[in-house]
């Protein structure tokens, strides 16, 4: 019996697709399409037992398996490989339990983020991760990529929001570790191996998520500053005043701000011309007192010379307008910029100097090139888009940027992951010793190398 027949016997013929029956949407993540070959088949299992059975077949036959969530990734992690199976968990969707006492939610891996957020809210609780792709991205993919988003400074990344996991290993073994305990030191913390492993070490089928109290107040301000020293001073000031309620501290450098608020873009909350702009948000639990506390924080900051100008949102609509500027990165395409964006991390203290150095080096190499810097500065996460004169090979720009990132002890990926897109550059900010540990872990958990081969690490047959 062939592999496809064996899998049909497990999941039913209606859950297996081949050839032209595989819709195009399954052949790409958000940015990296499959360019060579075809998948052997697309499988849509309905249960963990089915996932395990499919993996036993694939493992026996040594067939590559690429698992997909909502395919909103930006690194090629979910893009199929030639001759491999694609496993979509879209049928494994649903909230199984919300436990108010433990403040947890147990969900199937194919559940969309927005469903999680709404189920938490229905129970008077809150899921602390949010991002633009909330309607499409799925819990399993968010675990596999250790997703970040806009409120990491307050609630952490996905790693900080996962208490338990159910995972299917390459050989079909099911690891059931649906822990609801905050503290569990009974041996190695097995869930950590799979979070952020981009589908290369195991297939997440269920997760226990950590919930937070639902915020009762939102305070939002938009500020301008003349120097990066002010940015750092303001960050420390806001942390000290707001501590556990500071939920966003977002930087927009002047080049980004000017571009995004130009004709046809977002409305400008403040005049252009400043060195940098900041969006500050606090989520509190005391609607009576929080807005005043937030205003006092801003006044004190102004008194210390940490802010040049500021606007406070007096309605949800005004707050949304502030966020519109920060969330305008889709504009780059409309403005004719190439898809040359970076998701780097730089130690917070040095981001201002890094920006200056990066601009200078790009100008020296390609006079007339443009940049736009923005990011989750409170998480040391900087996004950078570059527009160079035509015909500059992207690879050269990338090598310049990542070379500088390495000099500044940063990372080539803060939140988007490695996939295939950043794999050639992993060595810029990871040492050979670190890569060797990663390879040892890969070999230990997936000795045949069938799970998402060629993602993060080398080693796919096509290499």
Chain positions 392 to 421 lying near a copy of itself, rule: CB under 8 A, are 409-418
Contact between 152 and a copy of itself by CB under 8 A: the answer reads: yes
In angstroms, give the least distance from the CB of 273 to a copy of itself: 25
Neighbours of 290 (CB within 10 A): 20
Among 68, 88, 179, 230, binds a copy of itself (CB under 8 A): 179
Among 154, 326, 383, 385, binds a copy of itself (CB under 8 A): 154
Tokens of 324: 């519109």
Contact between 320 and a copy of itself by CB under 8 A: the answer reads: no
Neighbours of 287 (CB within 10 A): 12
Write out the binding residues for a copy of itself, residues 33-72 only, by CB under 8 A. none
In angstroms, give the least distance from the CB of 45 to a copy of itself: 19
Contact between 132 and a copy of itself by CB under 8 A: the answer reads: no
Report helix, strand or coil for 158: helix
Burial class (CB in 10 A: 0-12, 13-18, 19+), 61: middle
Quote the CA–CA distance of 16 and 238 in Å, as a whole number. Answer: 53
Cβ-Cβ contacts under 8 Å for 69 (sequence gap 6 or more)? 78, 89, 109, 110, 137, 138, 139, 140, 141, 142, 144
Quote the CA–CA distance of 217 and 126 in Å, as a whole number. Answer: 13
* Binding piece for a copy of itself, criterion CB under 8 A, among 62-70, 109-117, 353-361, 425-433: 425-433
In angstroms, give the least distance from the CB of 329 to a copy of itself: 17
Among 48, 111, 197, 224, binds a copy of itself (CB under 8 A): 197
Contact between 214 and a copy of itself by CB under 8 A: the answer reads: yes
Nearer to a copy of itself, 92 or 153 (CB): 153
Write out the binding residues for a copy of itself, residues 218-237 only, by CB under 8 A. 232, 235-236
Quote the CA–CA distance of 252 and 331 in Å, as a whole number. Answer: 14
Tokens of 248: 């966003």
* Binding piece for a copy of itself, criterion CB under 8 A, among 40-48, 268-276, 282-290, 362-370: 282-290
| Nearest C-alpha neighbor of 154 from the set 345, 416, 407, 379 | 379
Among 5, 18, 60, 286, binds a copy of itself (CB under 8 A): 286
In angstroms, give the least distance from the CB of 334 to a copy of itself: 27
Nearer to a copy of itself, 203 or 418 (CB): 418
For residue 370, CA distances in Å to 310, 345, 398 come to 27, 20, 14
* Binding piece for a copy of itself, criterion CB under 8 A, among 206-214, 252-260, 273-281, 392-400: 206-214
Neighbours of 333 (CB within 10 A): 10
Nearer to a copy of itself, 161 or 325 (CB): 161
Quote the CA–CA distance of 156 and 317 in Å, as a whole number. Answer: 26
Nearer to a copy of itself, 104 or 328 (CB): 104
Name residue, tokens 């993060």.
456
Listing DSSP states for 362-425 in one string gives HHHHSTT-EEEEEE-GGGTEEEEEEE-STT--HHHHHHHHHHHHHHTT-BS-SSS--TTTTGGG
Write out the binding residues for a copy of itself, residues 354-393 only, by CB under 8 A. 376, 378-381
* Binding piece for a copy of itself, criterion CB under 8 A, among 6-14, 57-65, 318-326, 430-438: 430-438
Write out the binding residues for a copy of itself, residues 5-24 only, by CB under 8 A. none
Quote the CA–CA distance of 456 and 144 in Å, as a whole number. Answer: 12
Contact between 196 and a copy of itself by CB under 8 A: the answer reads: yes
Contact between 102 and a copy of itself by CB under 8 A: the answer reads: yes
Strand intervals (E) in 313-437: 341-345, 370-375, 381-387
């Amino acid at each position: 019996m062939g592999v496809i027949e064996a899998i049909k016997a497990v999941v039913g013929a209606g859950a297996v697709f081949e050839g032209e029956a595989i819709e195009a949407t399954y052949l790409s993540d958000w940015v990296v399409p499959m360019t060579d070959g075809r998948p052997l088949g697309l499988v849509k299992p309905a249960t963990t037992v089915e996932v395990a059975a499919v993996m036993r077949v694939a493992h026996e036959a040594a067939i590559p398996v690429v698992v997909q969530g909502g395919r909103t990734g930006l690194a090629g992690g979910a893009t199929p490989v030639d001759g491999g199976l694609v496993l979509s968990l879209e049928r494994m969707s649903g909230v199984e339990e919300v436990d108010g006492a433990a403040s947890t939610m147990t969900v199937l891996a194919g559940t969309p983020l927005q469903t999680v957020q709404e189920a938490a809210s229905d129970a008077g609780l809150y899921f602390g991760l949010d991002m633009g792709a909330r309607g499409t991205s799925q819990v399993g993919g968010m675990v596999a990529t250790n997703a970040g988003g806009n409120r990491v400074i307050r609630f952490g990344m996905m790693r900080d929001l996962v208490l338990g996991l159910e995972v299917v290993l390459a050989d079909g073994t099911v690891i059931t570790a649906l822990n609801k305990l905050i503290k569990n030191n009974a041996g190695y913390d097995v869930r950590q191996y799979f979070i952020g492993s981009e589908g290369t070490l195991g297939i997440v089928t269920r997760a226990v998520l950590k919930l937070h109290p639902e915020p009762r107040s939102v305070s939002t301000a938009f500020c301008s500053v003349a120097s990066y020293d002010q940015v750092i001073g303001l960050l420390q000031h806001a942390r000290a005043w707001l501590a556990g309620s500071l939920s966003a501290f977002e930087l927009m450098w002047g080049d980004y701000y000017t571009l995004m608020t130009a004709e046809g873009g977002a409305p400008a909350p403040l005049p252009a011309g400043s060195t940098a702009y900041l969006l500050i948000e606090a989520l509190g639990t005391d609607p009576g007192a929080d807005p005043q506390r937030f205003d006092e924080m801003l006044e004190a900051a102004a008194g210390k010379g940490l802010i040049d100008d500021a606007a406070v949102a007096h309605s949800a609509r005004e707050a949304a307008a502030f966020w519109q500027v920060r969330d305008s990165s889709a504009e780059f395409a409309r403005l004719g910029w190439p898809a040359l964006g970076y998701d780097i991390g730089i130690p917070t203290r040095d981001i201002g100097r890094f920006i200056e150095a990066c601009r200078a080096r790009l100008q020296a190499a390609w006079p007339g090139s443009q940049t736009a810097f923005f990011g989750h500065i409170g998480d040391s996460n900087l996004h950078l888009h570059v527009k160079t004169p035509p015909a500059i090979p992207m690879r050269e720009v990338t090598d310049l940027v990542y070379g500088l990132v390495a000099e500044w002890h940063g990372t080539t990926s803060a939140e988007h992951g490695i996939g295939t897109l950043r794999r050639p550059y992993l060595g810029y900010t990871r040492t050979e010793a670190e890569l060797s540990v990663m390879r040892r872990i890969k070999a230990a958990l997936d000795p045949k190398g069938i799970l998402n081969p060629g993602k993060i690490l080398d080693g796919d047959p096509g290499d």
